[in-house]
Structure 1
Amino acid sequence: MILIKDRISITDLARLRNVTTETLRHYDRIGLFKPTYVDPKTGYRYYSVLQYEKLGTIKELRQLGMSLKEIKEYFNNRHVTKSLSILTNKHEELKEKIKDLQLLEETLSEKIEFLRNVIAESKMKEIMIKQIPEREIITFGKAINNEIELSYGFLHLENTLEEISPILASNRLGFIISKSDIESCEFNKSSDIFVFTKSPNQINKKNIQKIKAGKYACIYNSGKPWDREESIKKLLQFIHYNHYIIDGDFIEIAQVDITVTDIVEEECFEIQVPIKNSIDT
């Protein structure tokens, strides 16, 4: 090591503190950590061993997640009360980040679990009877006649949601297919589109509707959402054969969609029909 009257070369200080020489040059340029002496002929920087504490503190503050701007403020008229305040504020920021990360982890976990389950369940082509609780949807009551209107419609719906990643790998978006259209054999017509809401208090009440709880006959349908005629006919045959009565509009819910696949054959929707026993009428 070259030591001349307590002068440590930039290379040696970098090695002593396990930082790069470029880091030290940058700290000098921004006025955070300046050398005690600069050779006027060579421009070479020299530091004092007495500066070891400041450089070590800078490293530790960086490890605590502080920006260089925050660190410069930390060293501006430093005293213990100010240092405590800065560290306390940084701790509060960290706790908020941890909360955000926990929410993000929970959201990702839910999406992974959903995709695993729906991939397995969607392979089953038989009709299932499900008891489904009441659900709330956001809908603007607009009929959809083509893909352009569909895109604008879903865009409008998604913009109402103030959540982390509400649509990707989820079953939140869907179509309402009116009972009267089914009875008229207009299987590919959708009277409305909707999104399930988790926070109805944030939405204009006039755009909230309830889908009643009850018994539903359900079938998975592959392909585009309007390629549903064959599946709906299967549902109608099942309902008739088992002496059920259709008890409201059909709904079609995206399960595997373009947020997770580019392959049309992998897209999958679940058609749900509210039913009741004929003896209940």
Structure 2
Amino acid sequence: MKDRISITDLARLRNVTTETLRYYDRIGLFKPIYVDPNTKYRYYSILQYEKLGTIKELRQLGMKLKEIKEYFDNRSSKKSLSMLVNKHSELKDKITKLQLLEISISQKINFLKSAIDESNTNNVVLKKFYDRKIFTFGKLMKNQIDLSYGFLELENSFEEIAPILASNRLGFIIPKENIESLKNTRENKIFGFYNGKTKVDRKYIRNIKGGVYACIYNSGKPWYREESVKKIIKYIKDNNLVVIGDALQVAKIDITVTDILEEECFEIQIPVKINDK
């Protein structure tokens, strides 16, 4: 058995590419024992198999080449242990983040499936909601420019994984008087649902009382809601109900997931109670 072997043979024995070995040589991580001065062909010792195998395993553990070079610099069991402990800590942190990401994506998939199914109906339904919290900076939105700046300000307050995409985190407040009078229904203030993770002054947080809400899905841009508002108000009057607070218009399917105007969909939620007069 020969001690000196070619770069091709070592690559085959260790199941790596010759280009990988050339790169390791260029960065000083794994150098050949001899380079032919005429052909520049690299030769390695079979005794180097251990180091190359260790490099492969450290790469599998997620170490960067810079870290691996440090690993081989004055190796000792305590130093190796310390580096492995640090890498383990990094791995656990990545796993935690990936688990949170998986939960977030799963929730978005389920939400979007439900939103697509419900958006195909245009009927008024009664829904019960628990107490909720929103935050709003109180700026009136009158056009697309106002809306863009307003949403940007709200989105910058979220500190979660993809909080806006395929979710119902944003919406509009429609004042009670505008709903009842059917006037100025295009003017509204935007809001975000608050869950305690948002970086916002508490003076901007508002409680939304739980209870029964008359709800309807409205397709198209959010300010094209007059017909849906008329329909829901008619339902409220026909069923001996009365509006008891500001309405919310919550984004369900918006420009974060579709470019088709007809697919955009918002749910109008109006708090009601039985008219006991």
* Bucket of the pairwise TM-score, normalised by the shorter protein: over 0.9
Aligned: 1:118 with 2:115: yes
Report the CA distance between 1:199 and its aligned residue: 1.8
Note the residue ranges of structure 1 that are not aligned, 5 or more in a row: none
Q: Which residue of 2 aligns with 1:277?
A: 274
Q: In the alignment, what sits opposite 1:76?
A: 73
Paired residue for 1:170?
167
Q: Read off the aligned partner of 2:153 and give its amino acid letter.
A: H
> CA-to-partner distance for each residue in 1:25-74, whole Å, 9 max, x for gaps?
11011110011111112211111111010000001111111110010011
Give TM-score, length-normalised by structure 1.
0.95
The alignment-based identity, stated in percent, is: 64
In 2, Cα distance between the equivalents of 1:190 and 1:277?
27
Report the equivalent of 2:204.
207
Contact 2:172/2:248 (8 A) holds in 1? yes
2-side partners of 1:88 and 1:107: how far apart? 29
Contact preservation (8 Å) 1:261, 1:267: yes
Partner-residue secondary structure (3-state), 1:126: coil
What secondary structure does 2:140 align onto?
A: coil
Structure 1 runs of 4+ aligned residues shifted over 2 Å read 182-185, 187-191, 200-203
Superposed CA deviations along residues 249-276 of structure 1, whole A, max 9, x for unmatched, are: 1111110101111000011110000001
1:191 and 1:256 map into 2 onto residues whose CA distance is 19
Give the secondary structure class of the aligned counterpart of 1:96.
helix
Match of 2:29 among 32, 45, 50: 32
SS of equivalent residue, structure 1 residue 111: helix
Q: Conserved in 1, the CA contact under 8 Å of 2:216 and 2:267?
A: yes
| C-alpha RMSD of the superposition | 1.3
Q: C-alpha separation between the residues in 2 aligned to 1:164 and 1:95?
A: 18
Match of 2:225 among 228, 231, 236: 228
Q: 1:92-171 to 2 correspondence within 5 Å?
A: 92-171=89-168
* Aligned residues of 2:173 and 2:249 also touching (Cα < 8 A): yes
1:248-263 pair list within 5 angstroms: 248-263=245-260
TM-score (norm 2): 0.97
1:276 is paired with a residue of what secondary structure? strand
